A = this chain, B = another copy of it.
C-alpha cells in the first residue's frame, strides 16, 4: 500500500507540466461533438481512461430516474445548409456548435422565412456562434453568427441534419479511489457540452488529472469522481445510488476552471458545511481576490445533490461563474479562452482544498490538565529547529489547548490566526509525543 500522503505529493507536483497536460487534454477533446447521450460522450470517456481507471456505465433509454426518464440516445453524422447555388453555407463539420444540440433528423427545402425560424444567433456578439440545445422538446435548428444571418438572401435553402434519436443509453464515467474510511468525497463534472473549452472541458481535464494524482497517495477519505451529463446525469446517478449516496460527506462540482477570472465558490445548500469552511479558508490564504456566494438551486448539478431529499454538501468551485462571461455558451469559449496557467492554478487550489479536508481532524489532548512540560518531552528542540520558532511554539500551545474533541484543526487555525499548515505540523509532532490522539466522531 502506498503510504505517501497527499501533502507530500503536493510538494512534488510540477504545476506547469500539469497545466500543459490539462490543456492538451482540453485540445484533444475539443473537436468531439458531445451531448447528454451518444458516441461523443463515449469517445470523451475513452480519452479520460488513458489517465484514470474510469468505469464507463450505460443506462438504457427509458429507465425511470426519479421524476425523469433517461432520454433517447442522440447521434449525428453530418449537418449542413446549402444555398440555392449548392454551396454549404453552414457546415457541422466546421463547428459542431452549428447544430442545435439534440436536433431531430431532417432533409428539406425551405425558404428564408422558414429557415430563420430555425436559426439562433447572438446579436450582441455578431461574429460568434451560440450553443443551443433542445433535449426535451423535439426540434431542429442551426446556430450561426449574427453577421452571417444578416446577409442571408431570400432564396431557397437545402437543409440536412443527419442525426438519429433512438433507444440506446445514457453514458457516464465513474472513478472510485478507496481511502481508509468509507466516507466519501464526491467530485462531479459535466461532460455534455460539445466544443466549449471552459464550460466544461476545463472541468473534465482538471477532474481527470486530479483523480490521477489521488491515485498515487494513501487517503483518509474514499473519493468518487463522476463524469456525467448535466442534470439528467446527476439525477440518474443519484437514482441508481440512493443508498450509497449517504456515504458522501463532502464534495465539489467542477466547472469553468480554465478562464482568466478570479475564483468563485458557490456554497453548499447547508451553507456552513466543512467543505464551505475549507474552501473559504483556502481562498483567503490564496491572497487573491475571490468571491464566495450563497447556494441557489440552479446552475450545475449542485442543485440536484443539494435537493431536500439528499441535501449532500457539495459546493461548486469555479473561476468565472456560468453566464457571467460573454464567451459563455458561444464559439468564443475556445482554445484561446482557456489557458494552461489558469488550469494549473485551479488544480493547485483543488489540491489545497482536498489536502486540508484530508488533514482536518479533531484530536483529544492526552494531557488535558494544565500544559504539558514541553521541555521534558524534547519539544523545545523541535521548536528551536523551526523556521519561525516563536510561531511554532504558539501553534503547539493552541493545538494542545483546543484539542478537546470539539475543535478541528481548521477551527484551531481560525481561532489562533495561525496557518492551517502550521497547526497541522504542530499536531503531527504532538501525536508523535503521545500528547494527542485522533477524536473520531460518528457521522
Q: Is A164 an interface residue (CB 8 A)?
A: no
B403 touches A371 (CB 8 A): no
B401 touches A370 (CB 8 A): no
Given known A-B contacts A306-B401, A401-B269, A369 and B66 have beta carbons under 8 A apart: yes
Of B235, B239, B311, B370, which one neighbours A67 at CB under 8 angstroms?
B370
Closest to A368 in B: B309
A54 to B209 CA separation, bound complex (whole angstroms)? 71
Q: Which of A285-316 contact B (CB under 8 A)?
A: 294, 296-298, 303-304, 306-311
Give A340-378 as 1s and 0s: 1 = Cβ < 8 Å from B's Cβ atoms: 000000000000000000000000010111111101100
Main SS of chain A's interface residues? Answer: loop
A100-108, A191-199, A392-400: which lies at the B interface? A392-400
Q: Is A68 an interface residue (CB 8 A)?
A: yes
A231 touches B371 (CB 8 A): yes
Q: Which of A379-398 contact B (CB under 8 A)?
A: 394, 397-398
B375 touches A136 (CB 8 A): yes
Given known A-B contacts A298-B397, A401-B297, A373 and B269 have beta carbons under 8 A apart: no
Given known A-B contacts A137-B375, A394-B298, A398-B297, A307 and B66 have beta carbons under 8 A apart: no
Could you name 30 residue pairs across A and B whose Cβ atoms are closer than 8 Å? Answer: A66-B367, A66-B369, A66-B370, A67-B369, A67-B371, A68-B370, A68-B373, A68-B376, A136-B373, A136-B375, A231-B371, A235-B370, A239-B370, A242-B369, A297-B371, A297-B397, A297-B400, A297-B401, A297-B402, A298-B394, A303-B371, A307-B365, A307-B368, A307-B369, A307-B371, A308-B401, A308-B403, A309-B368, A310-B370, A311-B404
Copy number in this complex?
3
Given known A-B contacts A66-B369, A369-B66, A369-B309, A303 and B397 have beta carbons under 8 A apart: yes
Chain B residues, Cβ within 8 Å of A365? 307-309
Closest to A301 in B: B370
Q: Which 6 A-B pairs have the closest CB atoms?
A: A309-B368, A297-B401, A308-B404, A309-B369, A308-B368, A67-B372
A370 touches B404 (CB 8 A): no
Chain B residues, Cβ within 8 Å of A262? none
Chain B residues, Cβ within 8 Å of A68? 370, 373, 376
Q: Is A238 an interface residue (CB 8 A)?
A: yes
Instruction: State how many angstroms separate the Cβ of A293 from the closest Cβ of chain B.
Output: 12
Given known A-B contacts A297-B400, A298-B394, A303-B401, A373 and B308 have beta carbons under 8 A apart: no
A67 to B374 CA separation, bound complex (whole angstroms)? 9
Chain B residues, Cβ within 8 Å of A189? none
Closest to A406 in B: B308
A375 to B311 CA separation, bound complex (whole angstroms)? 23
Give A304-332 as 1s and 0s: 1 = Cβ < 8 Å from B's Cβ atoms: 10111111000000000000000000000
Q: Is A234 an interface residue (CB 8 A)?
A: yes
Instruction: State how many angstroms separate the Cβ of A20 from the closest Cβ of chain B.
Output: 38
Interface centre among A137, A371, A375, A400 (most CB of B within 10 A): A371
B370 touches A309 (CB 8 A): yes
Chain B residues, Cβ within 8 Å of A401? 269, 297, 303, 306-308
Q: Is A133 an interface residue (CB 8 A)?
A: no
Q: Is A437 an interface residue (CB 8 A)?
A: no
A370 touches B238 (CB 8 A): yes
* Contacts beyond the supplied A66-B372, A296-B398, A308-B368: 13 A-B pairs with Cβ under 8 Å: A68-B370, A136-B373, A136-B375, A234-B370, A235-B370, A242-B369, A269-B401, A294-B415, A304-B371, A307-B368, A308-B403, A309-B370, A310-B369
